[in-house]
Amino acid sequence: MSEFDLAASSNTRPATRRMAVVLPRICRRLCLVLMAALVAGPVMADVQQADFDSIQLYTLKNSSGMEVSVTNFGAIITSIKVPDRDGKFDDVALGYDSVDKYINAVDKPYFGAVVGRYGNRIAEGTFKLDGQTYTLAKNNPPNHLHGGIIGFDKVVWNAETKSTDRGDAVVLRYTAKDMEEGYPGKLDVTVTYTLTNDNEIIIDYHATTTKATPVNLTQHTYFNLKGEGRGTILDHELLINAKRFTPVDETLIPTGELAPVSGTPFDFTEAKAIGRDIGQEHQQLKFGLGYDHNFVLDREGKGMALAARVHEPISGRVLEVTTTEPGVQFYCGNFLDGRLTGKSGQPYVHRGGFCLETQHFPDSPNQPEFPSTILRPGKAYETTTKWKFTVKE
């Protein structure tokens, strides 16, 4: 087996499983990347060789045979195997068969990763908090994206597995230093992935801080419900539980407006094929190169609410996303262009996967009208998102 060969390790052993790996070559390469980053930024993640020696793969399997694999590098979900309407299992999450590929492609697609400390964009990489101005990396010029140069998707997390009443779980922990990537406060983060016997993946996020700081954690899995690498997702039928969305400028920063979706290509209040209106002449579709927008979820109060439901007609697979978050970024793989080859050897074509990133709205630290993303000492950041997989006959 090659270094961290995820494909070779996905056997059918039941329940939770751990696998140690050795990564000398990868570490050397990554260390070079990290050293370059160290020269560029203020405080960076403190990455030690020992951390990379501890990268592992964990596979959860439930009573109906559904399997989810997770690595503690970037808290990445590397595969999700779910049945179609005939009971045939396919892997519906885009990703790679080796950690080497995740490391070398990390700054591009964020396949399967937890992104943070602030998922999505912060305008011009700067924000003011309690009278002080903070400067972040403009890693998506002219803006800051997904936590910066070494965001939570590129660090090694501590991981453990546990059995709970809801199902087996992988618990991942990471402590970001005060001023890491320019953000104030030492942030202790825990992300728990639980696989239930009802074919649900529950993602619980928890964080505490030593200083006031923006926090917006999300999960960046790209789905293709036909199976990863099987063409585009344009024929998937999508419903988004949102009558409004947050239009953006040409750099994908919200203008501040909560605009109605009605009468626009952004109306997914009734299920329609993702590709149906994507080619329409619409300035927002031009800015996003397709859909890459935050939707304002229709919800009553706090608690879990429907974010989106996706149905793929050929396999019959359905994914339902519920969340405690106020928004969801619907991104349909506009930046994929066939150059990245996935774990089954197939190219990831343009719009070959979609993401439903449950979140607070982009650029909230600079937009006082948006729900606040500021976490203060003594308070806990707690959010939950659930992905439920079913089939439609």
Applying CB under 6 A, does 139 fall inside the site for ligand GLA?
Answer: no
Applying CB under 6 A, does 355 fall inside the site for ligand GLA?
Answer: yes
The string of DSSP codes covering 4-31 is TBHHHH-----S-EEEE---HHHHHHHH
Say whether 198 counts as a known binding-site residue.
no
- Is the distance from CB of 208 to CB of 223 less than 8 angstroms? no
Q: What is the rounded CA–CA span in Å between residue 140 and residue 116?
A: 14
- Is the distance from CB of 7 to CB of 97 less than 8 angstroms? yes
| Burial of 28: CB neighbours in 10 Å, binned 0-12, 13-18, 19+ | exposed
Q: Clarify whether 144 is annotated catalytic.
A: no
Say whether 334 counts as a known binding-site residue.
no
Stretch of 1-9, 18-26, 270-278, 329-337 contacting ligand GLA, by CB under 6 A: 329-337
Q: Please count the other Cβ atoms lying within 10 Å of the Cβ belonging to residue 80.
A: 25
Measured from the CB atom, the residue of 110 and 193 that comes closer to ligand GLA is 110
- Is the distance from CB of 58 to CB of 170 less than 8 angstroms? yes
Which residue is associated with the tokens 């992104």? 115
Q: Give the shortest CB-104-to-ligand GLA separation in angstroms.
A: 15
Phi, psi of 144 (to 5 degrees): -95, 135
Q: Which residue in the set 51, 97, 153, 292 belongs to the binding site for ligand GLA (CB under 6 A)?
A: 292
Q: What is the rounded CA–CA span in Å between residue 183 and residue 215?
A: 9
Q: Give the shortest CB-248-to-ligand GLA separation in angstroms.
A: 9
Q: Clarify whether 228 is annotated catalytic.
A: no
Q: Give the shortest CB-352-to-ligand GLA separation in angstroms.
A: 13
Stretch of 32-40, 236-244, 256-264, 328-336 contacting ligand GLA, by CB under 6 A: 328-336
- Is the distance from CB of 319 to CB of 225 less than 8 angstroms? yes
**Tokens standing for 23?**
């990564």
Spell out where 197-230 has E strands: 200-209, 213-214, 218-219
The site map against ligand GLA for 66-105 (x = CB under 6 A) is ----------------------------------------
Q: Please count the other Cβ atoms lying within 10 Å of the Cβ belonging to residue 134.
A: 17
Measured from the CB atom, the residue of 6 and 252 that comes closer to ligand GLA is 252
Applying CB under 6 A, does 110 fall inside the site for ligand GLA?
Answer: yes
Applying CB under 6 A, does 331 fall inside the site for ligand GLA?
Answer: yes
For ligand GLA (CB under 6 A), the number of binding residues is: 11
Query: Which of positions 173-232 make contact with ligand GLA (CB under 6 A)?
Result: none
- Written as one letter, the residue type at 55 is I
Closest residue by beta carbon to ligand GLA: 331
- Is the distance from CB of 356 to CB of 307 less than 8 angstroms? yes
Q: Which of 220, 236, 293, 311 is catalytic?
A: 220
Applying CB under 6 A, does 329 fall inside the site for ligand GLA?
Answer: yes
Active site residues: 220, 357
Which residues sit in the known binding site for beta-D-galactose? 120-121, 220-222, 292
Binding positions for ligand GLA, rule: CB under 6 A:
109-110, 120, 145, 252, 292, 329, 331, 335, 355, 357
